[in-house]
């Protein structure tokens, strides 16, 4: 099997490394050797062992009938979309790690692949090296999936863990995460939650079989989380995690990305550092947990190469993926119910007037009051919170 890799950055070079490191085992499992014939990149790589494989025009790959599989690790929607579409239309199979592309164009690319009797696979787009896409497509097919809640961003989980354990500074831990190759090129996508938002949109699309637009999902990042919040979390025996969740509600799903203070008994509470964890609840399965390396060069490349192996075994066979282009209207997040932890400079009388019964939390921080609310809808919370002066609020999980 001759393949091409589009994008020789962190993940693309990881794919080349994995194919070299585990060459024999991969060939054994795929039924034939996998050989890189081209690497597409804008740059040249003088001195790199793959220097002579670099090409700059994607048409070189499109027009080479020997290429059976193309890996897309460029990131971003364009020009990745144009290139991937051209590859599928030229009857080549495609594996991608690019969640931006999959969230925006997944349904369409799956349809094009089906029309050409090839495959478009994207295991690495969610959860790095953790198998989650293939389990949802192939293993959990007997179930109505009622909930998916995940820690789906390694960078922010790494940052929150360091902040909790070491009281480390936000900017310093972000730089560290970037240096380790976890963060996106523009870390805004990580710290503002846009990256896990796309990932939960992909997972929800797969379980409902329709297009879920990430723009419709309420999304908050971790930039408002402070060292004081961790002090309250410690008193409450909770940890602060950026959760991406999707819950079946009526004929649709209620989705959200936001930081939560989760109890030490929560299944995701032990997911620390760059690890990701994905909790899935099915109506007949009950609970399942997927846990492992959620970001980084080799773990993500491992998932891409697993797609290459699967597609090598399925030449001329489209593996059906139930993700139709028809859009699913999500439930308004303002109707979802949560308990909240709140920090305020208002007095107890005002708090009681706005929220009724609350439980106070003392973390020894002067000049403010911390409390937790009863369960209420997002809309009810907003209305009550507008009556006092809120410093920060974090949902409880």
CA–CA separation, 393 and 381 (whole Å):
10
User: Between residues 198 and 248, which has the closer beta carbon with respect to ligand HSE?
Assistant: 198
111: annotated active-site residue: no
128, 129, 150, 259: which one contacts ligand HSE (CB under 6 A)? Answer: 128
Query: Is 305 a binder of ligand HSE (CB under 6 A)?
Result: no
Site residues for ligand HSE, 130-189, by CB under 6 A, read 153-155, 182-184
Q: How many residues bind ligand HSE (CB under 6 A)?
A: 11
In sequence order, the 6+-apart residues with CB closer than 8 A to the CB of 93 are: 68, 69, 70, 113, 118, 119, 120, 121, 311, 315
Closest residue by beta carbon to ligand HSE: 155
Q: Which of 257, 264, 259, 214 is nearest to 234 (CA)?
A: 264
Percent helix, strand and coil across the chain, each rounded to 5? 40, 25, 35
User: Between residues 181 and 370, which has the closer beta carbon with respect to ligand HSE?
Assistant: 181
In sequence order, the 6+-apart residues with CB closer than 8 A to the CB of 174 are: 155, 159, 183, 187, 191
Least Å distance, CB 294 to ligand HSE, is: 5
Question: Read out DSSP for 27-53?
Answer: HHHHTS--EEEEEE-SS--TT-TTGGG
User: Between residues 272 and 346, which has the closer beta carbon with respect to ligand HSE?
Assistant: 272
Least Å distance, CB 364 to ligand HSE, is: 33
User: Between residues 137 and 155, which has the closer beta carbon with respect to ligand HSE?
Assistant: 155
CA–CA separation, 259 and 266 (whole Å):
14
41, 190, 192, 378: which one contacts ligand HSE (CB under 6 A)? Answer: 190
Query: Is 75 a binder of ligand HSE (CB under 6 A)?
Result: no
| Interaction pattern, residues 194-233, with ligand HSE; x per rule: CB under 6 A | -x--------------------------------------
What are the distances in angstroms from CA 3 to CA 33, 40, 53, 297, 396? 11, 11, 11, 19, 47
CB 327 within 8 A of CB 211: yes
Least Å distance, CB 284 to ligand HSE, is: 30
Q: Which of 326, 331, 318, 339 is nearest to 397 (CA)?
A: 339
User: Between residues 174 and 256, which has the closer beta carbon with respect to ligand HSE?
Assistant: 174
Site residues for ligand HSE, 22-61, by CB under 6 A, read none
CA–CA separation, 105 and 108 (whole Å):
5
Q: Token pair 């193309």 is at which residue? A: 70
User: Between residues 14 and 68, which has the closer beta carbon with respect to ligand HSE?
Assistant: 14
Q: Is 356 left (phi over 0), alpha (psi -120 to 50) or beta?
A: left
Prior bond of 79 cis (ω within 30°): yes
Query: Is 295 a binder of ligand HSE (CB under 6 A)?
Result: yes
75, 294, 370, 397: which one contacts ligand HSE (CB under 6 A)? Answer: 294
Least Å distance, CB 296 to ligand HSE, is: 8
| Interaction pattern, residues 315-354, with ligand HSE; x per rule: CB under 6 A | ----------------------------------------
What are the distances in angstroms from CA 294 to CA 19, 30, 31, 193, 225? 20, 24, 28, 15, 22
Q: Which two tokens stand for residue 131?
A: 């198998």
Least Å distance, CB 247 to ligand HSE, is: 22
Least Å distance, CB 279 to ligand HSE, is: 17
| Interaction pattern, residues 250-289, with ligand HSE; x per rule: CB under 6 A | ----------------------------------------
User: Between residues 192 and 378, which has the closer beta carbon with respect to ligand HSE?
Assistant: 192
Least Å distance, CB 298 to ligand HSE, is: 12
Torsion of the alpha carbons at 67, 71, 77 and 80, rounded to the nearest 10: -30
Of 92, 105, 162, 199, which one is the catalytic site residue?
199
Catalytic residues: 199
Binding residues for ligand HSE (CB under 6 A): 128, 153-155, 182-184, 190, 195, 294-295
């Amino acid at each position: 099997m001759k393949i091409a890799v589009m994008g020789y950055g962190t993940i693309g070079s990881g794919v080349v490394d994995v194919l070299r490191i585990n060459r024999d085992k991969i060939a054994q499992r795929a039924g034939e050797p996998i050989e890189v014939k081209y690497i597409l990149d804008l740059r040249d790589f003088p001195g790199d062992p793959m220097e002579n494989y670099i090409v700059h025009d994607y048409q070189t790959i499109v027009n080479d009938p020997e290429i059976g599989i193309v890996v897309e690790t460029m990131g971003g929607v364009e020009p990745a979309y144009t290139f991937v579409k051209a590859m599928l239309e030229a009857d080549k199979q495609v594996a991608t790690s690019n969640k931006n592309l999959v969230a925006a164009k997944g349904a369409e690319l799956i349809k094009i692949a089906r029309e050409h009797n090839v495959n478009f696979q994207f295991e690495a787009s969610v959860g790095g090296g953790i198998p989650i896409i293939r389990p949802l497509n192939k293993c959990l097919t007997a179930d109505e999936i009622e909930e998916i809640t995940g820690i789906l961003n390694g960078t922010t989980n790494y940052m929150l863990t360091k902040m909790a354990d070491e009281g480390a500074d936000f900017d310093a831990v972000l730089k560290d995460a970037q240096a380790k190759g976890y963060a996106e090129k523009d870390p805004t996508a990580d710290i503002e939650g846009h990256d896990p938002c796309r990932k939960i949109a992909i997972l929800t699309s797969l379980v409902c079989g329709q297009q879920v637009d990430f723009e419709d999902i309420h999304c908050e990042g971790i930039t408002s989380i402070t060292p004081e919040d961790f002090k309250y979390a410690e008193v409450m025996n909770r940890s602060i995690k950026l959760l991406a969740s999707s819950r079946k509600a009526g004929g649709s799903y209620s989705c959200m990305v936001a930081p939560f203070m989760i109890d030490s008994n929560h299944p995701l509470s032990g997911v620390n550092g760059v690890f990701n964890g994905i909790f899935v609840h099915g109506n007949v399965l009950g609970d399942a947990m997927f846990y492992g390396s959620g970001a980084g060069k080799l773990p993500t490349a491992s998932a891409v190469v697993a797609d290459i192996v699967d597609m090598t075994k399925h030449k001329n066979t489209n593996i059906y993926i139930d993700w139709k282009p028809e859009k699913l209207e999500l439930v308004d997040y303002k109707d979802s119910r949560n308990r909240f932890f709140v920090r305020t400079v208002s007095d107890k009388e005002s708090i009681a007037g706005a929220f009724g019964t609350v439980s106070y939390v003392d973390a020894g921080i002067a000049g403010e009051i911390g409390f937790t609310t009863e369960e209420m809808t997002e809309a009810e919370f907003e209305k009550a919170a507008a009556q006092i002066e809120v410093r920060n609020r974090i949902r409880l999980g």
